[in-house]
Amino acid sequence: MDRVRAGEVELCVESLGSPGATPVLLVAGHGAQLQWWDDDLCAALVAEDFFVVRYDNRDVGGSTAFEAAGEPDIGALLRGEPAEVAYTLWSMADDAAGLLDALGLEDAHVVGASMGGMIGQCLAIAHPARVRSLCSVMSTTGAPGVGAMTADTVRELIDLDRRITDPVERDVATARRFASPGFAFDEPSVRARAARHYARGEPVGGVARQLAAMLASGDRTDALHALAVPTLVVHGDADAMVPVDGGRATAAAVPGAQLLVVPGMAHELPPAVWPEIVGAIVALARRADVRR
């Protein structure tokens, strides 16, 4: 792993594969570190002749922390009231563009999951020349009420957070509760990933500041209508964190977007679906590269 300057921040980044291969930028979700993108999934992309770049977003892992900004007023943001935020998703998209600059990459295929999908959308809107293709996974458009958790889901997450103080055990319990009903739950892998996450450290308030960035960044629907970037939208039909209507809205907003709904998949990427998703990403990238 390296730490590189990307605009106003330093980002912790890891690259895999040959630098001469086709670049693909993997953007992690809310509170997730770069290892959320499993080593074997990355290896599957490398085997398809991709140069894989995964990184920690700002305020997580080894990237620049914004602890001096304090914790935002999430309640006010949820009520639609004015509240100060440290940054927005658009700032995080600028980080991704700056990372491409730092790595000497003119552009890349961009795959983002959850909040990472939102960042990928912002990157394609604000820096379209940097995005060869966009794969938005289990994400949404920012439109009010679309891809939103139910009140019951929010209460369950709050309850888990209050009842379980050990962060690794809390992550495992949350993953088990919201696991994909159509696939086996791999507790050892979930536990190992959580342990690696907390061993690397987590900025105080970073998860809240990233949530505030999502809440403060607005509806991207109109801007997505203007995209000319080849786009694939992937979503599970059992996703309780970002329900599938968020994926459907994203695909409907981007002209010509392909929608892949995975039966039985929740807010995760079970290993059993990797061949299908990697195949779809490869097909998208090849179609996009033919158009260049």
* 123-166 pLDDT per residue, tens: 999 999 999 999 999 999 999 999 999 989 989 998 999 999 99
Edge-to-edge strand list for the sheet holding 108-113: 2-6, 9-16, 50-55, 22-27, 108-113, 131-137, 231-236, 258-262
pTM of the entire predicted model: 0.96
- Asked if residue 142 is part of any domain, the answer here is yes
- Asked if residue 154 is part of any domain, the answer here is no
Number of domains in the chain: 1
- Asked if residue 100 is part of any domain, the answer here is yes
* 172-222 pLDDT per residue, tens: 999 999 999 999 999 999 999 999 999 999 999 999 999 999 999 999 999
- Asked if residue 107 is part of any domain, the answer here is yes
- Asked if residue 263 is part of any domain, the answer here is yes
Q: Given 3-state DSSP classes, what are the helix, strand and coil percentages for the chain, each rounded to the nearest 5?
A: 45, 15, 35
CATH classification of the domain holding 226: 3.40.50.1820
Is 202 in contact with 59 (CB distance < 8 Å)? no
Q: How far apart are CA 70 and CA 209, in angstroms?
A: 8
Domain boundaries, position 232: 2-149+201-291
pLDDT score of 276: 97
Closest CA to 187 of 200, 201, 172, 177: 172
* 44-80 pLDDT per residue, tens: 999 999 999 999 999 999 999 999 999 999 999 988 8
User: How high does pLDDT run on average in the chain?
Assistant: 96
pLDDT score of 115: 98
Model confidence at 84: pLDDT above 90:
yes
pLDDT score of 80: 87
Look at residue 32 and give its three-state secondary structure: coil
- Asked if residue 165 is part of any domain, the answer here is no
pLDDT score of 49: 97
pLDDT score of 274: 97
Q: What is the mean pLDDT of residues 26-30?
A: 97
Q: What is the mean pLDDT of residues 99-105?
A: 97
pLDDT score of 291: 72
Q: What is the mean pLDDT of residues 95-123?
A: 98
Q: How far apart are CA 111 and CA 96, in angstroms?
A: 12
Q: What share of the chain has pLDDT > 70, as a percent?
A: 100
Q: What is the mean pLDDT of residues 17-33?
A: 97
pLDDT score of 1: 86
**H/E element, 161:** helix 151-163
pLDDT score of 290: 86
- Asked if residue 187 is part of any domain, the answer here is no
Q: How confident is the model at residue 292 (pLDDT cuts 50, 70, 90)?
A: low
Q: How far apart are CA 11 and CA 59, in angstroms?
A: 9
- Asked if residue 226 is part of any domain, the answer here is yes
Model confidence at 268: pLDDT above 90:
yes
Contacts 24+ apart (CB under 8 A), 37-42: 38/189, 38/193, 38/269, 38/271, 40/271, 40/274, 41/269, 41/271, 41/274, 41/278, 42/16
pLDDT score of 209: 97
